[in-house]
Structure 1
Amino acid sequence: MKLVAQVRLLPTPEEASALEATLRACNRAATCASQVAFAKDLKDRNGLQGVYGELKARFGLSAQPAVRAVKKVVDAYAALGANVRAGSLGPPTCKRYRAAVGTLIGFRPQAAQPFDDRCLSWQYDARTVSIWTVAGRMRGIRFACSPDQLEPRHHIRWHELPGTAPVPLSAPTGPQTRRTPEEEGRSARRRLARRRRKEQRHATHVNHRISKEIVSVAQRTGRGIAVEALGGIRERVRLRRDQRGTLSSWPFRQLGAHLAYKARRAGVPFLEVDAAYTSQRCPRCGHTERANRPDRDHFHCRRRGQRA
């Protein structure tokens, strides 16, 4: 499970200038590495091993930023290959496919650049960060973040240099022509893909909210969290017709993962239990018997007399 902390740097004008120069140098280096990858069909880190020296000498990068620039190129071509295999770019005969496969991947001057903990370090008490730049190591750059993200996180390994901004796309102009059936099909697939990604983002957001509330209540009341092991839940649970569409597509495993890591962070005990016979088991003495549950809404332990 990767945790993302949103941090905003607050550099002085001189620091901002150095950071922007670093961002531009890293992206020029990545574009250079991409040119080699495209021309020689070298799309893995071992194949691009020979460009490290050139990136360091030509663009003023130290060893680790050069490594990260090459890794960004490798990841970009890996993503392109995954889209090709998934059919997201259409058939090989379509214009979009040919344009994507037949053109090298370039990087905007202010595209985000991943930095790891060899390129930057955090001073949490002082709320400052030390970052490598083409002008040398810059220390004491202030940053801001929400209070709950201020705790030391030794697992933070990535940071995107500032300076990126979304560019709005202009609306299409001119006369619109009727699409061919093939174009309509591709458009429908793209709409379905966008809708699927939107639903995934919604489900992730809801799971975060649910898990955060459960852990908060457990922490406030001094209790632990026990959840049913959710493996195979779709095969084991019978649903009403009006519930099938919603619950059959819900990411239960993700919810369990969110609960687990949030509970660990908060120091709340967390346990996954086998759901078999739990409705028949007495919470006090552990006696399990079918007769303990005379109906769905009532529980009566035949050994201890516990009722619920």
Structure 2
Amino acid sequence: MRLVVQVKLLPTLEQASALEATLRACNRAATYASRVAFANDLKDRNGLQKVVYTALKATFGLSAQPAVRVVKKVADAYTALKANLRAGSLGSPTTKRYRKAVGSPVVFRPDAAQPFDDRCLSWQYDARTVSIWTVDGRMKGIRFACSPDQFKTLVQYRKGESDLVCRSGKWFLIATCDIPDPDPYEPVDWIGVDRGIVNLATTSDSTNHQGRRLSRYRRWQARKRAELQAKQTRSATRRLARRAKKEKRHATQVNHRISKEIVSVAQRTGRGIAIEALGGIRERVRLRRDQRGTLSSWPFHQLGQHLAYKARKAGVPFLEVDPAYTSQCCPRCGHTERANRPDRDHFRCRRCGLAGPADVVAGVNVRDRARSAWVFVTAPAPAP
């Protein structure tokens, strides 16, 4: 499996100035190459490189390998744009967003990330430094810092490109690590996980990860956003951007903590993890106006992604099951009816009388469906 490790660079003032000049030069070159690609309909890497390679070196001061990386960066940007258009992420062809995307070349921000390969970036692990190409020459001895676990992963599994990133005046290298997948074990049972808004995750073991604290935090952030938006100043706009990033980091940390705990329990008990496949929930569910912001900003998908990759890294079996009626179906008798769940928190079967917390019942149903699905997945193929 492929993971990324983010390390923080600790450059001197001279080194930071050279890195900033390099990032700006590379992105100016990428914007130029993007315009050429758009005007001549050159979206393949080799064809574009033949046209712009000389200009990138002569006009923007790039060496050979950074110029090649810039061309690949532009080609990858148009590949990603094409994939988003095909997937409908930019709306239908009649929308303003779609027409803007296809009607103008891709433009790169002055501080956009720039990839470096092993020819223009080298790591000195013993000294905890890197050596990187810049427009002012090769910069050696730039110190970096990371956690012990990240450093161990970096030394053992780093492979391929690393991206140079500048965020709020701080410098980072995001390195790609290719980690071998451990073989998943045969689970003795499953842990069903039900995801929600009031309760972020509830397992079939009745473990409840509540979202009240995160909900209060989000409501407080929403009030602060409204106050700043009312000011309509440039300073307020900058503070809004910083608050949005802080809120996103907070939600990500909560999801990391929850997923790490669930995966560790599954690994310790020899069980697998099953969740509901909640793809397309925005298209399936119609909500009141006051509920739309809550659902749209809730990180359902991110929690599922964290569970999936952490389970894969630990060798824990992972399944996504059909989410239909998991909160209305009785796990004892199978009776399914909307009246089985009279309110958000409680479940009571109208046929057999089974009662309990609604989210726990949903987690049990997810677990039971994983048992059936795993038997089907691992069943031997019929003989020809």
TM-score w.r.t. length of structure 1: 0.61
- CA distance, structure 1, for counterparts of residue 43 and residue 298 of structure 2: 27
Structure exhibiting the larger radius of gyration computed from Cα positions:
1
Q: Which residue of 2 aligns with 1:64?
A: 65
Q: Which runs of 5+ in 1 are unaligned?
A: 175-184, 216-224, 251-273, 278-308
Q: Which residue of 1 aligns with 2:31?
A: 31
Sequence identity, in percent? 58
CA shift at 1:74, angstroms? 0.9
CA shift at 1:92, angstroms? 1.8
Q: Secondary structure at the match of 2:47?
A: coil
- The letter of the residue matching 1:156 is K
Q: Which runs of 5+ in 2 are unaligned?
A: 170-224, 233-282, 287-291, 323-328, 337-361, 371-376
Q: Which residue of 1 aligns with 2:277?
A: none
Instruction: Please list, as runs of the form range in 1=range in 2, the aligned pairs for 1:152-171 lying within 5 A after superposition.
Output: 152-153=155-156, 155-165=158-168, 171=229
- Residues 19 and 162 in structure 1, CA contact (< 8 A), matched pair in contact too: no
Residues 233 and 249 of structure 1, relative CA distance in 2, 3 Å threshold? closer
CA shift at 1:150, angstroms? 1.5
Query: Is residue 2:214 matched to residue 1:113?
Result: no
Residues 249 and 85 of structure 1, relative CA distance in 2, 3 Å threshold? farther
Q: Which residue of 1 aligns with 2:343?
A: none
- Residues 321 and 366 in structure 2, CA contact (< 8 A), matched pair in contact too: no
More strand by share: 2
Q: Which residue of 2 aligns with 1:40?
A: 40
- CA distance, structure 2, for counterparts of residue 111 and residue 232 of structure 1: 35
- CA distance, structure 1, for counterparts of residue 82 and residue 368 of structure 2: 30
- The letter of the residue matching 1:157 is G
- CA distance, structure 2, for counterparts of residue 249 and residue 78 of structure 1: 38
Q: How far does the alpha carbon of each residue in 1:215-258 deviate from its partner, in whole angstroms, 9 at most, with x for none?
A: 5xxxxxxxxx7x67x79988xxxx947359856999xxxxxxxx
CA shift at 1:276, angstroms? 5.8
CA shift at 1:86, angstroms? 1.6
CA shift at 1:157, angstroms? 2.5
Q: Which residue of 2 aligns with 1:221?
A: none
Instruction: Please list, as runs of the form range in 1=range in 2, the aligned pairs for 1:1-308 lying within 5 A after superposition.
Output: 1-49=1-49, 50-151=51-152, 152-153=155-156, 155-165=158-168, 171=229, 198-210=299-311, 215=314, 240=331, 242-243=362-363, 246=366
- The letter of the residue matching 1:115 is F
- CA distance, structure 1, for counterparts of residue 140 and residue 73 of structure 2: 25
- The letter of the residue matching 2:112 is A
Q: How many residues align?
A: 221
- Aligned-residue Cα RMSD (Å) equals 3.7
- Residues 27 and 108 in structure 1, CA contact (< 8 A), matched pair in contact too: yes
- CA distance, structure 2, for counterparts of residue 56 and residue 165 of structure 1: 29
- Residues 112 and 165 in structure 2, CA contact (< 8 A), matched pair in contact too: no
CA shift at 1:200, angstroms? 2.8
TM-score w.r.t. length of structure 2: 0.50
